[in-house]
Amino acid sequence: MVRAGQALVIAALLSGCADTNWLPKPPQASSSEAVQVARAAYEGGDYSQAATLFERASQKDLKSVPALLGLGKSYIALGQHVRAENALDRARDLAPRNTEVLTELGFLALSQKQPRRAITFYDAALTHDAHNLSALTGKAVSLDFLSRYAEAQEVYQQALKWYPTNFALLSNYGLSQVLSGKIGEGIRVLEELVHDPVKGNAVRQNMALAYVLDGRDADARAILAGSMSDADVASKIAYYRKVRVDYNAGKPIGYLVFN
């Protein structure tokens, strides 16, 4: 699930490549009516209203982790990272083992292009829940950001043992293979996913990057056609060509893809 208004968050936040279906889901329904109303606003994409309502709920119950978690998520959606971190830090103080709080802190760090810090939060979450999908995918994406592809792929492979058909895991795994030089293997994964009737469009930019890195610019244009304007397609292809220069030179390109 891509968070509405955040345009493939890690992808657009970074380069428009990584899939974000792994991101933590909205807070679980609480017995607090105020939290439930705030959650409805969040799910409806009204993040400003959600922040206001979660703020009220957190003031009404100073120990409400769901209210603080929702407040942090709402502020992230609004791009107010300092306020988001303050809310999430308070939630972690109250519930240090809460994996949803930890993965959200990881997502916040990654959103701020702090992959090493993000990994510490994802590792903390995995300490309490080794099968946590959000933490596994977030850690792997963070490692790809750092061009630590072999380590990232170990995490993807472990996660795929538990979630073998998960679209986001497979999409990010395919991208990781492409970035690490296993371009044929990665393209095979991505070409299958792009034909998914429901989620296929989410992997088009991954697919285009893979094609450009493989010298198949025409295929890249074709896969993006219709999903964005001609000008945006041209701009995207031009950027991927710049990435290809370093790729062909054997240089790490994670930071270029996730920029």
Among 95-99, 201-205, 213-217, the range scoring the smallest mean pLDDT is 201-205
Please report how many Cα atoms fall inside a 13 Å half-sphere around the Cα of residue 185, on the Cβ side: 12
pLDDT(208) > 80 = yes
Q: Tell me the DSSP string of 17-82.
A: -S--TTSPPSPPP-S-HHHHHHHHHHHTT-HHHHHHHHHHHHHHSTT-HHHHHHHHHHHHHTT-HH
pLDDT(25) > 90 = no
- Per-residue pLDDT at 33: 87
Going by the DSSP 8-state scheme, the letter that residue 12 receives in this structure is I
Q: Quick one: which of 199, 211, 203, 200 has its CA closest to 237?
A: 211
pLDDT(91) > 80 = yes
pLDDT average, residue stretch 220-232: 93
Q: Any idea which residue has 């690490």 for tokens? A: 180
How far is the C-alpha of 235 from the C-alpha of 251, rounded, in Å?
22
- Per-residue pLDDT at 245: 96
The amino acid at residue 49 is Q
pLDDT(26) > 90 = no
Q: Work out the number of other CB atoms within 10 angstroms of the CB of residue 182.
A: 16
In the chain, which ranges are continuous DSSP H helix?
13, 33-43, 47-60, 65-77, 81-94, 99-111, 115-128, 133-145, 149-162, 167-179, 183-193, 204-213, 217-224, 230-248, 254-257
pLDDT(16) > 60 = no
- Residues 122 and 142: beta-carbon distance below 8 Å: yes
| Per-residue tokens: 243 | 């990435």
Q: In which band, very low, low, confident or very high, does the pLDDT at 13 lie, cut at 50, 70 and 90?
A: very low
- Per-residue pLDDT at 229: 94
Q: Is 225 helix (H, G, I), strand (E, B) or coil?
A: strand
- Per-residue pLDDT at 255: 85
pLDDT average, residue stretch 30-49: 88
Q: Is 250 helix (H, G, I), strand (E, B) or coil?
A: coil
Q: In which band, very low, low, confident or very high, does the pLDDT at 256 lie, cut at 50, 70 and 90?
A: confident
- Per-residue pLDDT at 32: 78
User: What is the reported pTM?
Assistant: 0.85
pLDDT above 70 covers what percent of the chain? 88
pLDDT(4) > 50 = no
| Per-residue tokens: 161 | 């043992």
Among 153-157, 243-247, 251-255, the range scoring the smallest mean pLDDT is 251-255
Question: Measuring CA to CA, how many Å separate 157 from each of 10, 58, 137, 194?
Answer: 20, 39, 10, 20
| Per-residue tokens: 179 | 């970035």
What is the residue-averaged pLDDT of the chain?
89
Q: Quick one: which of 258, 189, 248, 171 has its CA closest to 214?
A: 248
- Per-residue pLDDT at 11: 41
Q: In which band, very low, low, confident or very high, does the pLDDT at 226 lie, cut at 50, 70 and 90?
A: confident
- Per-residue pLDDT at 28: 46
